């Protein structure tokens, strides 16, 4: 059985971000429970404290947001729906109706209009309100919008899955590269070299150009 290692720190301290994750927070969200060799995985949203830190590190919530388990569970739920949409896109399959509904629901949870405010120091100004009770709604809406932009924008054709099992991360490929990190690339090359030495056939990931179409 896979074990769950809750990690309160950012994933970059243990695993470098997959290509594209620094540009698309939704891609980073999808990769926030990476599988590790040996049947283990990390969950960077595994506890309210870890999830709050993850959001704060990406400017999606204040550091003192004080997330509860219910809000953390909603964030993990959106992660699974975003992963489903990314996976179906990579495999060329229809988008799951429940995942579409969940992302669209998140998109409509938080208002996007900048309201008019006034204070003695600034005078009149416009800003989007972020009541404490809506912090998670705003974060979910931002992540859902980012996922929609990724899946419908020019980078959608570069989206692929890491080709080095058991890695479960997604990435934006550059050229023919279809590994999310140097570690995954080294592991895949080592597996192929071992297969050649022993004469065992090992499945080879398809070329990057044929994935995610």
Residue 49: give its domain's CATH number: 1.10.3300
In a domain, 207, yes or no: no
What are the angstrom distances between the C-alpha of 9 and each of 12, 39, 65, 133? 8, 21, 16, 24
pLDDT in tens, 10-49: 444 467 899 999 999 999 999 999 998 777 889 999 999 9
Looking at the structure of the chain, the number of domains it has is 1
In a domain, 181, yes or no: no
Comparing C-alpha atoms, which of 34, 30, 28, 25 is closest to residue 6? 34
Within 8 A by CB and 6+ apart from 89, the residues are: 95, 151, 156, 159, 212
Could you tell me the residue range of the domain that residue 99 belongs to?
Answer: 4-156
Q: How far apart are CA 54 and CA 161, in angstroms?
A: 22
In a domain, 198, yes or no: no
Decide if pLDDT at 139 tops 80: yes
In a domain, 96, yes or no: yes
In a domain, 177, yes or no: no
Q: What is the pTM of this model?
A: 0.77
In a domain, 185, yes or no: no
Decide if pLDDT at 175 tops 50: yes
Sheet holding 40-43, edge to edge: 4-6, 40-43, 35-36
Decide if pLDDT at 174 tops 90: no
In a domain, 182, yes or no: no
């Amino acid at each position: 059985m896979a074990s769950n290692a809750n990690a309160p720190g950012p994933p970059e301290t243990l695993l470098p971000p997959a290509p594209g994750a620094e540009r698309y927070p939704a891609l980073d969200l999808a990769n926030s429970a990476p599988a590790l060799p040996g049947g283990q995985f990390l969950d960077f949203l595994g506890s309210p404290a870890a999830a709050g830190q993850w959001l704060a590190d990406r400017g999606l919530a204040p550091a003192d947001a004080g997330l509860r388990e219910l809000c953390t569970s909603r964030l993990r739920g959106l992660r699974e729906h975003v992963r489903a949409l990314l996976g179906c896109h990579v495999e060329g399959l229809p988008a799951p109706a429940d995942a579409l509904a969940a992302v669209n629901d998140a998109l409509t949870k938080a208002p996007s209009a900048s309201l008019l405010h006034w204070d003695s120091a600034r005078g009149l100004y416009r800003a989007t309100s972020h009541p404490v009770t809506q912090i998670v709604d705003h974060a979910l809406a931002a992540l859902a919008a980012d996922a929609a932009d990724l899946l419908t924008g020019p980078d959608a054709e570069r989206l692929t899955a890491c080709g080095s099992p058991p890695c479960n991360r997604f990435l934006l490929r550059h050229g023919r590269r279809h590994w999310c990190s140097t570690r995954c690339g080294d592991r895949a090359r080592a597996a192929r070299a071992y297969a050649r030495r022993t004469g065992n056939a090992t499945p080879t990931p398809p070329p990057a150009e044929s994935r995610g179409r």
